[in-house]
Structure 1
Amino acid sequence: MSKPQNRVRLTAGRVDAFTCPAGKSQAFLWDTDTPALALRVTPTGRKTYVFESRLHGDTIRMSIGTATDWPIEKARGEAQRLKVLVDSGQDPRELERQQQAQKAAAKAAATAKALTVGEVWPLYLEGGKPKRKDAWKPRYRADLEAMAAPGGEKKKRGQGTTRPGPLYPLLALPLAGVNEDVLKSWYDREAVAGKHQAARALMMFRGFLRWCAARPEYRSLTDRDAGKAAAIVESLPGNTRRTDALEAAQVPGWWAGVEQLSNRTASAYLRALLLTGARREELAALTWANVDFQWRKLTIADKVETTRTIPLSPYMAQMLSMLPRMGPYVFASTGKAGRITDTRASHAKALQSAAIEGLTIHGLRRSFSLLGEAAGAPAGAIAQVMGHKPSATAEGYRPRSIDALRPFVEQIEAHILALAGVKFDAQAEPGKLRVVSVT
């Protein structure tokens, strides 16, 4: 700090003439009109107005601004304002820090308020995996992307370009602006093109809102229950539970239609769904590493648990052994996923050939359960093979070992094959059997 005698009345001429003495890192010229104001100069010639005072026995020094930017009278006024604060016991530096923090918070709030759904949606796709799962199921992830796609791409089938996905209009909206009125208006527009598609898109968007509400950075911006408003729920189409399944009399026609498919992988996959009762994604993700031909076991991904192991029945072993090994997946494909992903077109051909209507891929899972009951297998064994959540009230349920399950799985398989008219040597080793289909 400079010596008290270095005081003059600051004028434009004195400010311009003031320089830093040689050998000094800085020099001060104090104002007589406003004693707390000084002009500081450095060896480079930079001149800055500073405020200096004492608070609670400590020296406070703050920069006001450069002599180029601040006229002398304005600098005096700012020094006087700071002096009033100090005399009242307030630290101007702390007040300035608080103001800067408030400005930063206001700016962050404004930025957050402008955050759009489209900016957060990719983060949801990346990190919004279901509970207890390592990642989205490939099919569901693809559906999420398709629901929010901008459209305009050439159709894979037919002429023209694709239309935007149902969720695409929501991407441009601020996340903080998504409320029940907005979603009701959006749903009503999308339902004109297709109620069930719009309803499915709404269910997916509810998942997105739940994810946002669970994250601290988005929680204050998210109306988690916006998609559950009564006005929206009342507009949803009825959720009719599907009950489609193969009747015993339909099994021969269905089996023959599937066997005749030119896509041999799809043919084996569809038959495997009927013979195991597995969910389509569980079986599609089956790898060769999880097929044990020696001890006749299959380990597949499970919706309830991480995995489940079931017996590998004789015909299934034979069928799988005849598939080409094109990579890690049993039901391999040359597509991007490296495995079979969608067999609806193949299944439709088989259904058309068999004159069967309304049977879905998931209907094959229901068919396994019903045909298993007809074969005389216990309900608990059927549920365990299918990966249903255990029920302690059903059949006094208790998990069975693989060896205990095996007779029932083979019993169900034999019943289905008998209905289909398929005969083969169940005692032969996989790869050595000659399957004969009797129509």
Structure 2
Amino acid sequence: MTTGYSDSGKRRTRSASGRTKTEAKEKLRELVSDRDAGLTSDGGYTVADAVTSWLAHGLHGRNPKTVENYRYNAQGHILPFLGRRKLRELSAEDVELWLSRRAAHLSTRTLRLLHSILSRSVRHAQARDKVARNVVNLCDIPGGRPGRPSKSLTLEQAMSVLDAAVGTPLHAYIVLSLLIGARPEELRPLTWDHVDLHGRPAATPPVPRSIEVWHSVRAGGDTKTKKSRRTLALPLRCVVALRLHRLRQVAAAKRGGRRWDPRGLVFPSTAGTQLDAHNVRRAFRRVIKAAGLPPEQWTPRELRHSFVSVMSASGVPVEDIARLVGHSGTAVTERVYRKEIRPALNEGAKIMDTVFQTR
């Protein structure tokens, strides 16, 4: 069958064969159908080819960490199970079976990501006439394994963690996370020119010691939302911890024969670069272990949950807490972050005892 002509005018042909004449004719009809539909694949184009092509050419302008995350998930969960499957033979049943089997091992969020990667890869191939339709879009995403619910430190546990952090490189980081509720990705890029440890008490009105939470490690350096860009007054314990932290940095710079940079990172790595999440998690778990808590059950982000819970237990209105943690509303603050750390809610009983006095 003639499928077209090359730039030099040479005729391009495709042939079909089978064990019987009927089988050969059926394959030939498929070739004719593909030609009429404008498909350019010879039938050997696989799911692995589609995913690899999308990762290489379909993610221009994306953050390198995002691309690496997509590649890691594709290589770990898509290619080993569907990679050899010919794309034109991939069915919705194949995709549904693959998702249901992966659901026993992965969270729902990861399943959604895998479904998105595969769907976008097939759509990328579809735009290049490698396949007629995208069967991935016909499949529902099953529920995966439930994730570990976030927790909040009790006040006693929080005090133990603060005591255990004293003298460690992560002391000031933990104090800030627990006492102002900053996100981990907001503290890692923090620089000293965004920290005011003196304030202006004689000004009118007085200017408190504060920290400017204006950046994060997200693409472009922006905070998560517009409300997340905020300036927070520093509790005294944060000021003391940051001053000690800065003195240690100045002394370390002198020992290394260099000048301390007043605009440098507040929490750099030993190489002077920005900390990554693994650095923080590893050091944080050492502190948690020293505080007598199981290190595998706690993450740095739960210090932010603890801040919200302690503030709520202390009677601070949820609207004020939402502003302090940079939420655009109170829904996420209440549903995700606030954990009730008091043993019982007494306010309702006290009020009703007053209204309906026992006779």
Pairwise same-fold verdict (TM > 0.5): yes
Question: Contact 1:128–1:211 at 8 Å: present in 2 too?
Answer: no
Among residues 178, 186, 192, which one is paired with 2:98 in the alignment?
Answer: 186
Change (3 A) 1:338 1:361: closer
Do structure 1's residue 271 and structure 2's residue 156 form an aligned pair?
Answer: no
Among residues 161, 184, 206, which one is paired with 2:115 in the alignment?
Answer: 206
Question: Contact 2:227–2:323 at 8 Å: present in 1 too?
Answer: no
Residue 166 of structure 1 corresponds to which residue in structure 2? Answer: 77
Structure 1 residue 190 displacement after superposition:
4.8
Query: More deviation in 113-122 or 215-224?
Result: 215-224
**What is the number of equivalent residue pairs in this alignment?**
261
Do structure 1's residue 360 and structure 2's residue 299 form an aligned pair?
Answer: yes
In structure 1, distance between residues paired with 2:54 and 2:290: 46
Structure 1 residue 346 displacement after superposition:
2.0
Change (3 A) 1:255 1:174: farther
Structure 1 residue 340 displacement after superposition:
3.2
Structure 1 residue 143 displacement after superposition:
4.2
Deviation sequence 1:71-110 (CA, Å, 0-9, x none):
xxxxxxxxxxxxxxxxxxxxxxxxxxxxxxx979836355
The higher relative CO (CA closer than 8 Å, separation ≥ 6) is in 2
* 1:166 partner amino acid: H
Change (3 A) 1:289 1:307: farther
Query: More deviation in 172-181 or 381-390?
Result: 172-181
Structure label with greater radius of gyration: 1
Residue 241 of structure 2 corresponds to which residue in structure 1? Answer: 319
Deviation sequence 1:148-201 (CA, Å, 0-9, x none):
45xxxxxxxxxxxxxxx334425555666655433344345556xxx4446554
Do structure 1's residue 258 and structure 2's residue 162 form an aligned pair?
Answer: no
**Structure 2 residues not aligned, in runs of 5+:** 1-8, 11-33, 200-209, 217-222, 250-259, 335-359
Deviation sequence 1:115-147 (CA, Å, 0-9, x none):
4212212445x4485xxxxx47x5x66544433
Do structure 1's residue 380 and structure 2's residue 316 form an aligned pair?
Answer: no
In structure 1, distance between residues paired with 2:158 and 2:117: 41
Question: Contact 1:116–1:172 at 8 Å: present in 2 too?
Answer: no
Question: Secondary structure at 2:301's aligned position in 1?
Answer: helix
Residue 331 of structure 1 corresponds to which residue in structure 2? Answer: 267
Richer in helix (by share): 2
Do structure 1's residue 303 and structure 2's residue 240 form an aligned pair?
Answer: no
CA RMSD of aligned residues (A): 4.2
Change (3 A) 1:104 1:331: farther
Do structure 1's residue 347 and structure 2's residue 259 form an aligned pair?
Answer: no
Residue 206 of structure 2 corresponds to which residue in structure 1? Answer: none
Residue 140 of structure 2 corresponds to which residue in structure 1? Answer: 228
* 2:52 partner amino acid: G
* 1:316 partner amino acid: C
Scaled by the length of structure 2, what TM-score is found? 0.57
Question: Contact 2:165–2:174 at 8 Å: present in 1 too?
Answer: yes
Do structure 1's residue 217 and structure 2's residue 217 form an aligned pair?
Answer: no
Structure 1 residue 368 displacement after superposition:
0.5
Q: What is the aligned-residue identity percentage?
A: 21
Question: Secondary structure at 1:365's aligned position in 2?
Answer: helix
Scaled by the length of structure 1, what TM-score is found? 0.48
